[in-house]
Structure 1
Amino acid sequence: MRPILPTLIVCGLLHALPAAATSYEFVPAPQTDLNRMYRIDKVTGEVISCQYGLQESGGGIGQTVCFGAGEGAGPQAPSEYGLVASRHGREAGVFRVNYRTGEMSICFVLVKNQQVVCTQQSRPGAEPPDNAPIPGTSAGRPGTSVTPSQGGRP
């Protein structure tokens, strides 16, 4: 009966390997007329994006255009990350969420820089940075300056 226990342990470990190997999650941008897909590394939180692009010469079937991780979209502290798309049909960005801490950030493609960028991670109830705009206004907190956004709304 003893040889059965090691066999069961090996079978259980082999069964768990595919679950451990799933280190990426993919989510489409909610914008209905945009063929963009975001990818996140579920452990590091690094976000990239790819979309279909027409080939200008050669008349081929097109090409996959990918945008690497730029400011804020690179690896974060190891945790359990995911992507969530809003239901806003005109939104090109997605939320990066940290399932362990509850922190969120918004990630989108800055086409002029050819990169995915993400805002600083934040969680509801956390104190915003001193220069963060107050919701519903275009001004920052009293006595602080607001850095202009890069390229406007994603």
Structure 2
Amino acid sequence: MRGMTGYRVRAAGLAAGLLVAGAAQGASYEFVPAPQADLNRVYRVDKATGEVISCQYGLQENTIGTTLCFGPGEGAGPQAPSEYSLVASRHLREAGVFRVNQRTGAMSICYVLDDAVVCTPQGNAGSAAPGAAKP
């Protein structure tokens, strides 16, 4: 029986280790507040897929308030697998953030529109915007 107990302890330790490793892999989010000075909104990006959502505090009658969250809308859903991050500008009246693909340098602007987060198509310096001056 003693050998069986040791086996159970090792198996339990292995299972716990796998759970911790799985949690570390699954916790691949980055959070950035909107730069707008009078807006209590935070954006979240899945660093592997680029999916963006946003949440903010909302008043609710006869309560301490509520958390209002906006799911991914057009352009804010999963992108090609890569390494994504969020960057807030320093523009005090800007409610959106930049989603940056760390591998390619491509960027898009994400913001809340109606009841969802939307993002512009990804662009980078190699593909200047229409009408933009080219070097």
Pick the TM interval, shorter chain. Answer: 0.7 to 0.9
How high is the TM-score relative to the length of structure 2? 0.78
SS of equivalent to 1:77 = coil
Which one of the candidate residues 75, 92, 111 is aligned to 1:89? 92
Which one of the candidate residues 26, 29, 36 is aligned to 2:31? 26
In the alignment, the residues of structure 2 paired with residue 37 and residue 127 of structure 1 have an alpha-carbon distance, to the nearest angstrom, of: 29
In the alignment, the residues of structure 2 paired with residue 98 and residue 24 of structure 1 have an alpha-carbon distance, to the nearest angstrom, of: 14
How is 1:31-50 mapped onto 2 (pairs within 5 angstroms)? 31-50=36-55
In the alignment, the residues of structure 2 paired with residue 106 and residue 90 of structure 1 have an alpha-carbon distance, to the nearest angstrom, of: 15
Percent sequence identity over matched residues? 68
Partner of 2:68: 65
* Counterpart code for 2:118: V
- Of Structure 1 and Structure 2, which has the larger fraction of its residues in helix? 2
Structure 2: which 5+ runs fail to align? 1-13
- Of Structure 1 and Structure 2, which has the larger fraction of its residues in strand? 2
Structure 1: which 5+ runs fail to align? 1-9, 137-154
Partner of 1:7: none
CA-based RMSD? 2.0
For CA contacts below 8 A with separation 6 or more, give which structure has more relative contact order. Answer: 2
Structure 1 runs of 4+ off > 4 angstroms?
A: none
* Counterpart code for 1:30: P
In the alignment, the residues of structure 1 paired with residue 94 and residue 27 of structure 2 have an alpha-carbon distance, to the nearest angstrom, of: 27
How high is the TM-score relative to the length of structure 1? 0.69
Deviation, 1:135, is 5.0
